[in-house]
Structure 1
Amino acid sequence: MQETDGDASPVVALPDGPAGVTWRRIDAGSVDAVHAIARRIAEDETPGFPVGRSELDRSVQAAGSPGRTALAMRDGEPVAFGFVVPGAAAVRLPGGVLPAVHGLGIGRRLLAWQVAQARAVGAGPALPMGVRQPSVAVRTAALLAHAGFRPERTFLHLRRSPGAIRPAPLPADLRSAPFETRFDEPLRVAKNLAFADHWRSSPEDPEAWAQHHLGSWLRRDLSRLALTADERVAGFVVTWEPEDVTDESYVALVGTDPERRGEGIARALLTEVVAASAAAGRPVVTLEVDADSPTGADRLYASVGFERALEAVIHGLPS
């Protein structure tokens, strides 16, 4: 009988080999080991951009089942990991292999398992699969290309260094407010509307919204909403507190009601967030943006002092 996950999707058997390597599933007790692998890879590929443990906790949770996880062990030490994370718009395949064991065939086996497991949970023409990697990860890009993946989209990691920022005014009919809990649902609705024309964005239901955006990493006090007189959300900047980084804020979401784009709402809120973050002892602000954003967001961020720090590429497997 074929093993299945809780949602009845098939579970693909873990890879076999190479010699001296064994495979097992990832559970709560092995996330620290996965974190150690991810940190070592980041030190090699993207120094200065550490991977937080909470990010991996979210991947374990989003995978939804141990059957969608894999951990490679060599001589009793963890050396590689992979997840298969289903989503509304795509199936993500996060993972990595320690540089010390490159060339042994571990990455090739891991990727083949991820692809097979992604197909088992429904990846196909309607639900593409994608692998996100820093553009400097040349070895991984070659592995992906050999497996048939192709670059599909580039995302820019932007950073604003400490420094004064000139305030920008909101339109006269709007007021700025922190992200209080009473706005959780109105902001979810506003986010779905603002991101409707973004690449591979799909509406989030209340459960997904809470899971992805309302965790312990959220800084409500450093987030800002633009509200109408009847308290409808016309724009928003949502800020997170990066793990293990004490002097930074991460802007996770920036959006404006499509009917009010071009009025300077996002710029005004961003200048408030930058100033509030500095006052809170976090003078560095980072964010990510689609290099081909339909709203021209990269130009907005450049105008308030953000500079390019890193590029990441989404590689997709054609159906």
Structure 2
Amino acid sequence: MSLAERADHLTPPLPDWSAYEPTDADIDDLVALLRRHEKEARGWPGADSEMVEAEVAGRGADTRNHLMVRDPEGVARGWVSCHDRARGRVLVGVTVDPNLPDDLADPVAAWCFERAEELATVIGVDRGLERTQMDSGAFADDDRQPRWLTAAGFRHVRDWWQMTRPVAPEEATSLPEPREGVTVRLVARDGGGRLPDEQDLRDVHMVLEASFADHFNSYRETFEEFLHRLRADPGHRWDHWWLAEVDGQPAGALVAVAVTGRTTRDGQEQPDGSYVEYIGVHSRARGRGVAKSLLYAVIADAAERGRNRVGLEVDADSPTGADGLYRSLGWETVYTTQSWHRDLALPAG
């Protein structure tokens, strides 16, 4: 039975409410719901229609399943999102309207996590697995999400610092050059100049896989999964992929995305920014200043484009002390998010 067919037979979480698979017509209401949640849980909203549309109907929608909940007046009150991230990994998003009092929010949240378990089970069985990991999250300052996650069988496993650094216009040309023997360049383009060179992309993937192999919760993602997922991001740009080489060999990589302007904590509008999705350095090249050179490259690029910031995420418990490098280059923590995991045993296919 397809998701749409299952959704037609869903019993909603509360009497006279409705639950179904969202379409393009629901995007504005999902954006409004997510922004209400972000403002309450983090302090300011950041979601926009481009971001939500990419998840629900964009290039990467084929790896995602969604359900939404509306109250009797038609107001969007809940959203379940399950992303088949890679073999053995399902990213779970559950958003419940912060305007709902606990006596209504609690059963809606419980219903959403039950549906997420069902969807994750279908994904895992379809992949022929015996177990899969449900990977969800929360803002550290959220009072209710951790309670719902705990009730759904998840455990809090990690904190992540969301950091940002201001960018000055003069940094387009004033930052230090890489050390001797180190080069940093954008991934090459094919003969027509439109598509990136496949070998460069494979080198980026190889370097990132190798550099994260000993990191928390590391798992292998195929080259095809890696490309498909990153291209699905609405901020994806091929000219935001950098490859570092040491003595002519691939040694580091950085993948960034464009971030549209957002409303800040104090209600001010910001221009566009850049965000570092991935940065990694191969073990054979550590100690050569590769990471710093890659960061200088994305800062200079942001300055040249007239952007005012570069954001990134760092593991609060990282054994590499990466946060020390970021702080030394001007990054500061803006807020903290949490990872919550649940290991799900699957029935035989």
Partner of residue 178 from structure 1, selected from 186, 195, 207: 186
Partner of residue 150 from structure 1, selected from 145, 150, 155: 155
TM-score, scaled relative to structure 1: 0.86
User: 2:148 corresponds to which letter in structure 1?
Assistant: L
Partner of residue 23 from structure 2, selected from 24, 27, 30: 27
Report the Cα offset of residue 18 of structure 1. Answer: 0.6
Work out whether 1:270 is the aligned partner of 2:278.
no
Q: Contact 2:167–2:302 (CA<8 Å) still a contact in 1?
A: no
Q: Contact 2:12–2:69 (CA<8 Å) still a contact in 1?
A: no
Rounded Cα–Cα distance in structure 2 between residues aligned with 1:125 and 1:310: 36
Report the Cα offset of residue 244 of structure 1. Answer: 4.1
Partner of residue 195 from structure 1, selected from 212, 225, 246: 212
Q: From the superposition, tell whether residues 65 and 204 of structure 1 become closer, same or farther in structure 2 (CA, over 3 Å).
A: closer
User: 2:313 corresponds to which letter in structure 1?
Assistant: E
Q: Contact 2:94–2:109 (CA<8 Å) still a contact in 1?
A: no
Report the Cα offset of residue 79 of structure 1. Answer: 1.7
Q: Bigger shift: 308-317 or 238-247?
A: 238-247
Partner of residue 81 from structure 1, selected from 63, 75, 79: 79
Report the Cα offset of residue 46 of structure 1. Answer: 2.0
Rounded Cα–Cα distance in structure 2 between residues aligned with 1:80 and 1:293: 33
Instruction: Write the mapping of 1:290-309 to structure 2, written as runs, cut at 5 A.
Output: 290-309=315-334
Per-residue CA distance 1:182-227 (angstroms, 9 max, x = gap): 1223212222222222223333333322222235523444543212
Q: Contact 2:63–2:84 (CA<8 Å) still a contact in 1?
A: no
Which structure 1 residue ranges, 5 or more long, are not aligned? none
Work out whether 1:206 is the aligned partner of 2:202.
no
Q: Secondary structure at the match of 2:175?
A: coil
The aligned counterpart of 1:43 is: 39
Work out whether 1:114 is the aligned partner of 2:116.
yes
Q: Contact 2:167–2:299 (CA<8 Å) still a contact in 1?
A: no
Report the Cα offset of residue 151 of structure 1. Answer: 0.5
The aligned counterpart of 1:249 is: 274
The aligned counterpart of 2:267 is: none
Structure 1 vs Structure 2 CA RMSD: 2.8
User: 1:46 corresponds to which letter in structure 2?
Assistant: R
Q: From the superposition, tell whether residues 168 and 125 of structure 1 become closer, same or farther in structure 2 (CA, over 3 Å).
A: farther
Q: From the superposition, tell whether residues 153 and 81 of structure 1 become closer, same or farther in structure 2 (CA, over 3 Å).
A: same
Rounded Cα–Cα distance in structure 1 between residues aligned with 2:203 and 2:36: 40
Q: From the superposition, tell whether residues 11 and 92 of structure 1 become closer, same or farther in structure 2 (CA, over 3 Å).
A: farther
Report the Cα offset of residue 125 of structure 1. Answer: 7.5
The aligned counterpart of 1:99 is: 98
Report the Cα offset of residue 286 of structure 1. Answer: 0.6
Report the Cα offset of residue 179 of structure 1. Answer: 3.1
Instruction: Write the mapping of 1:126-141 to structure 2, written as runs, cut at 5 A.
Output: 126-141=131-146
Report the Cα offset of residue 157 of structure 1. Answer: 0.3
Work out whether 1:225 is the aligned partner of 2:243.
yes
Aligned residues: 312
Identity of counterpart residues, as a percentage? Answer: 23
Q: Secondary structure at the match of 1:131?
A: strand
TM-score, scaled relative to structure 2: 0.79
Q: Contact 1:239–1:249 (CA<8 Å) still a contact in 2?
A: yes
Q: From the superposition, tell whether residues 85 and 159 of structure 1 become closer, same or farther in structure 2 (CA, over 3 Å).
A: same
Q: From the superposition, tell whether residues 49 and 203 of structure 1 become closer, same or farther in structure 2 (CA, over 3 Å).
A: farther
Rounded Cα–Cα distance in structure 1 between residues aligned with 2:314 and 2:242: 18
The aligned counterpart of 1:70 is: 67
Rounded Cα–Cα distance in structure 1 between residues aligned with 2:326 and 2:275: 13
Report the Cα offset of residue 85 of structure 1. Answer: 1.7
User: 1:30 corresponds to which letter in structure 2?
Assistant: D
The aligned counterpart of 1:53 is: 49
Q: Secondary structure at the match of 1:39?
A: helix
Work out whether 1:314 is the aligned partner of 2:339.
yes
Q: Contact 2:161–2:313 (CA<8 Å) still a contact in 1?
A: yes
Q: Contact 1:235–1:256 (CA<8 Å) still a contact in 2?
A: yes
Rounded Cα–Cα distance in structure 1 between residues aligned with 2:274 and 2:21: 33
Rounded Cα–Cα distance in structure 2 between residues aligned with 1:233 and 1:217: 25
Which structure 2 residue ranges, 5 or more long, are not aligned? 189-195, 263-270, 345-349
Q: Contact 1:190–1:233 (CA<8 Å) still a contact in 2?
A: yes
Q: From the superposition, tell whether residues 63 and 292 of structure 1 become closer, same or farther in structure 2 (CA, over 3 Å).
A: farther
Q: From the superposition, tell whether residues 136 and 172 of structure 1 become closer, same or farther in structure 2 (CA, over 3 Å).
A: same
Q: Contact 1:52–1:242 (CA<8 Å) still a contact in 2?
A: no
Report the Cα offset of residue 19 of structure 1. Answer: 2.0
